[in-house]
Structure formats: structure tokens, C-alpha cells
């Protein structure tokens, strides 16, 4: 292997775990080996990784060793590589302390949320389409008018008679003649004011109604001695009217049960 290249062990599609004794550990990862130049920068490192793994890189973590000077135990930690300075420090650290080992990097990719149809989703979509088609067919059947089947004959007279019945409004059913439309009930006039409130003239004679006598009422100007009236009220009314108009006084008396 040339001295100007470093072997890298790429970890991806796993998780980063911290152990109490070892430190940072890459678990359940897929791995791939890559060789990079010692003088590479961040752009060159990222491009090399993307060409090898054929995915878009979003983050790079470097797993570096830490030696305890007291007991010489080695633990591991991680640092995120964000610029060219971090890349140079990573390459120098690896060349100085662990040049005989592979440099371990954990790679994070851009998540592509692509939705692929599964068998269950396709089955559900097929069932939904079948239900919608059945509902549409039922609605079409309900909306279609149903006409009774009629026998087609050669007799043209029956067709002419049917057309006459349609245009004239007559029907062949026997029960239709007996059905009479009920006439609306008349609206009773509950407001019945007295005659002087309904009469626009100043006449003294009221119109004859069904509740009054059919005898013609005598005018108050024609009062004479010996005149008879239908009842007491009619007599007193005539006397009072005559008294008002002529300033005369008359007395009414009963003669033979008649005023």
C-alpha cells in the first residue's frame, strides 16, 4: 500500500453506542473499505465516499482513540467532521497514533422518504375502487325511471284513443268519476259592525237582513196618530227620531197587542 494513502473503514446504516469501558462503539452497521489521500480536504473526502457508497452524505463522524497515561487503557470517542481543519486533524491523529489500523468513520446519509405500494395497500385500494363502483351502479339504477312493459299490437284505434285521453285529461278508471274535489270551506266574516259604521250616507232606513222583519219600515217623517208598529222597539225608535227632527212629543200605547 502506498504511504500517501490511508485505509478507511466506513460504517453506515447502524447506530452509535457508548460503552462504559470502551467508549463509543458502532453497532449493527454495514461496512465498506475506502482509501483516501493524506492531503484530502472535506470536499474530496465527501465526494470519494459518495462515489463508493452511491448515496448523498450529510454527516461524517470520526472514531479516534484516547490513551490513559496512568494505566495506558484505550477508549474511543467521536468527533463530527465539518470543515477542512477537522479533516487535517483527523488524518494527523490517525497517522501518529494508529497508523497500523484502519481509520473508522461513521457516515450518515440523506433520508429519501419514498413510498412504494405494498400488497396490503394495493388490496385496500382495489377494495375501495370496487365499493365506489358498486355505489355508482346502485345510484344509476335508482335514478333510472322504470316504465312498465306494454304489449305492442296492430290495433291503431287503441293508440288514438290513448292519445285523446292523454290530451283531454280523461281516464279509463271507473273510480275517477266518483272522486269529486272538495270545495274549500267559505271563510266566515267574524267582524260585523253596526249599520251606522258601515253606512256612508245619512239615511235613516237600514237594509233588510234575514234577522229583521220583511215589512217596510215607516219613515220618521210620516208619523201619524194611529200608526202601528211591529214591536215596541220599532215604535220607540220612530218616535225618538221624529222627536229629534221635529221637536214633537208622541206617546206610544198598546192597542190589541200591537203598538
What is the domain partition of the chain in residue ranges? 5-109, 195-246
Give pLDDT, residue 199. 63
In 89-220, at which residue ranges do the beta strands (DSSP E only) sit?
103-109
Residue 126 falls in which region: left (phi positive, over 0), alpha (psi -120 to 50) or beta? alpha
* pLDDT at 47 > cutoff 90: yes
Angle at 76 between CA 75 and CA 78, to 5 degrees: 155
Q: Which has more confidence, 163 or 85?
A: 85
* pLDDT at 233 > cutoff 70: yes
Confidence class of residue 246 from pLDDT cuts 50, 70 and 90? confident
The fraction of the chain above a pLDDT of 90, given in percent, is 19
* pLDDT at 64 > cutoff 80: yes
* pLDDT at 153 > cutoff 60: no
* pLDDT at 5 > cutoff 70: yes
* pLDDT at 162 > cutoff 70: no
* pLDDT at 238 > cutoff 50: yes
Confidence class of residue 140 from pLDDT cuts 50, 70 and 90? very low
* pLDDT at 229 > cutoff 70: yes
Instruction: Kindly report, residue by residue over 169-212, the tens digit of the pLDDT.
Output: 555 555 555 555 667 776 666 667 776 666 665 555 555 554 45
Q: In what order do the strands lie in the sheet with 103-109?
A: 15-19, 23-27, 74-80, 57-67, 103-109, 5-12, 30-37
pTM beyond cutoff 0.85: no
CATH architecture of 5-109: Roll (3.10)
Q: Where are the alpha helices (DSSP H) in 18-145?
A: 42-53, 84-97, 119-143
Which range, 35-49, 111-125, 144-158, has the best average confidence (pLDDT)? 35-49
Pairing of strands 30-37, 103-109: unpaired
The Cα–Cα gap between 259 and 256 comes to 8
Amino acid at each position: 500500500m502506498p504511504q500517501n494513502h490511508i485505509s478507511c473503514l466506513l460504517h453506515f446504516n447502524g447506530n452509535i453506542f457508548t460503552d462504559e469501558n470502551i467508549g463509543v462503539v458502532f453497532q449493527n452497521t454495514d461496512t465498506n473499505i475506502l482509501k483516501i489521500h493524506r492531503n484530502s480536504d472535506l470536499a474530496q473526502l465527501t465526494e470519494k465516499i459518495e462515489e463508493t457508497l452511491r448515496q448523498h452524505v450529510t454527516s461524517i463522524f470520526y472514531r479516534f482513540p484516547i490513551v490513559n497515561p496512568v494505566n495506558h487503557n484505550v477508549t474511543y470517542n467521536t468527533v463530527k467532521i465539518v470543515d477542512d481543519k477537522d479533516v487535517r486533524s483527523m488524518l494527523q491523529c490517525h497517522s501518529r497514533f494508529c497508523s497500523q489500523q484502519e481509520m473508522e468513520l461513521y457516515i450518515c446519509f440523506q433520508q429519501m422518504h419514498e413510498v412504494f405500494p405494498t400488497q396490503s395497500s394495493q388490496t385496500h385500494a382495489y377494495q375501495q375502487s370496487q365499493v365506489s363502483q358498486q355505489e355508482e351502479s346502485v345510484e344509476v339504477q335508482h335514478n333510472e325511471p322504470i316504465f312498465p312493459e306494454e304489449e305492442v299490437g296492430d290495433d291503431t284505434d287503441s293508440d288514438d284513443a290513448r292519445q285523446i285521453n292523454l290530451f283531454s285529461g280523461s281516464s279509463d278508471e271507473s273510480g275517477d268519476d266518483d272522486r269529486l274535489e272538495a270545495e274549500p270551506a267559505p271563510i266566515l266574516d267574524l267582524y260585523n259592525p253596526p249599520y251606522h259604521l258601515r253606512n256612508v250616507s245619512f239615511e235613516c232606513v237600514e237594509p233588510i237582513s234575514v234577522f229583521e222583519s220583511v215589512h217596510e219600515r215607516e219613515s220618521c217623517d210620516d208619523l201619524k196618530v194611529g200608526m202601528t208598529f211591529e214591536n215596541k222597539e220599532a215604535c220607540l225608535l220612530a218616535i225618538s227620531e221624529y222627536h229629534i227632527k221635529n221637536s214633537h212629543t208622541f206617546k206610544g200605547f198598546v192597542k190589541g197587542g200591537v203598538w
